[in-house]
Amino acid sequence: MREDRRRVFGVLGAGRQGTAAAYDFLRFGDPLAVWIGDADPDTAHSAAERLRRLAPTRADSIFASAVDAADPASLEGFLDPVGTLLSAVPYHMHPRVAGACIRMGTCMCDLGGSTAVALEIHRMDGLAREAGVSIIPDCGLAPGLVNTLAVCGMEEMDVCREVQARCGGLPQRPRPPLDYKLVFAISGLTVEYFGKAHVIRDGKVVEIDTFTELEEIEFPEPVGRCEAFVTSGGASTAPLSFEGKVDRYEYKTVRYPGHHAKFKVIKDLGLLEQEPVQVGGVRVSPREVFHAVAAPRLEFPEDRDLVVVRVTCKGLRDGRRITRQFDILDYHDEATGFSAMERLTGFSAAIVCEMLAEGLVPPGVHALEQAIPGRPFVERLVLRGIPLTETTSVERA
């Protein structure tokens, strides 16, 4: 692929995280152009106008387009000038986008949302290699950033025994009904809460139920005491990559105390089931009804958010036991208007895309934890003003 085409960035999906990633491309990607596309032309053009206000010196390089990701002709037309793409569409569409990128010779990463979907994209590895295209699925916050922080900790040990990743997007001011506000699509939330999660236990990948293994966890004020529990997708393919290399690898989602109990009632009542049920002569999916009814009651658009991240790696270095811990507490940015979730998800994915544009990843479909080195990623993250704290404790083994 021509080097100059790689520096034409595209964002498919002009929503929250996609717009934040496009802003990152403008600041750090040295772009020739940034194309932002969405099925709704008004959404795409609104995002482009916002970006022009935020990055006025780059205004002439920002373009908006209506694009239907479900229509191959529309999608390929959007990709024609684009050398490096972030897919920020609903997670189930990522394989379709990946196939189009391979046909059009466009490198790609996506925001993830489902490990099964990521594995479907990995099965395109041979096609991507033949096309000279580099693809990395699951590059947002969790999955994404948390796994790369784990890689950074593991790189700095002789032997890593255990990785614990904890992450949560939370309202700064919790309020009923669930002490939670939506910081991404509700369909992504229920995918995390429902089903199975892959973890490593005793060196082997195992499946465990979501919404289990509830624990208390303490963060600095003003967050304070929270709870964490198993959800799906946050670890992505890391358990598969690190099977036999670490004894334990797990991911849990962080929420304010009491959220787990409230949402478990919803789950146990079957309101997250996807199998349609008969209601008044019409077959409807309980989960789709829940999405439609609950989402407007969890938006709180004026409320500010925060994101907490804690990744802890334990192992050995120079014959001593070592613990490396990475902590992030990020808040809604008043200067740009980007939420903490948009910053940590969009900026993290943009960093990976920019590494693709720089030719740092060979052709093929790659697992994030295998393709992106931890320390360079961390350095780029800090450059974006993300408040990352690293601590190390060492004791004799």
Angle 374-383/340-357 helices, nearest 10 degrees? 130
Residues of the chain with pLDDT under 50: none
* DSSP at 243: B
Decide: helix, strand or coil at residue 316: strand
Pairing between β-strand 196-201 and β-strand 204-209 as defined by DSSP bridges: antiparallel
User: To the nearest 5 percent, what fractions of the chain are helix, strand and coil?
Assistant: 40, 30, 30
pLDDT for 383 equals 97
DSSP string, 128-143: HHHHT-EEE---BTTT
Nearest 5°: the CA angle 174, 233, 235 is 100
Cα 215 off chain centre by: 23
CA 275 vs CA 263, 285, 290, 292, 351: distances in Å: 19, 6, 13, 16, 38
Q: Domain-by-domain residue ranges, the chain?
A: 3-139+342-382, 145-340+387-396
Report the C-alpha gap between 190 and 230 in whole angstroms: 13
pLDDT tens-digit readout, 216-261: 999 998 899 999 999 999 999 999 999 999 999 999 999 999 999 9
Report the C-alpha gap between 107 and 364 in whole angstroms: 9
pLDDT for 3 equals 65
Fold classified for 145-340+387-396: Dihydrodipicolinate Reductase; domain 2 (3.30.360)
Burial class from Cβ neighbours inside 10 Å (0-12, 13-18, 19+) for residue 335 reads exposed
pLDDT tens-digit readout, 195-211: 899 999 999 999 999 99
CATH of span 3-139+342-382: 3.40.50.720
- Nearest in space to 192 (alpha carbons), one of 237, 149, 251: 251
pLDDT for 190 equals 86
Report the C-alpha gap between 139 and 344 in whole angstroms: 11
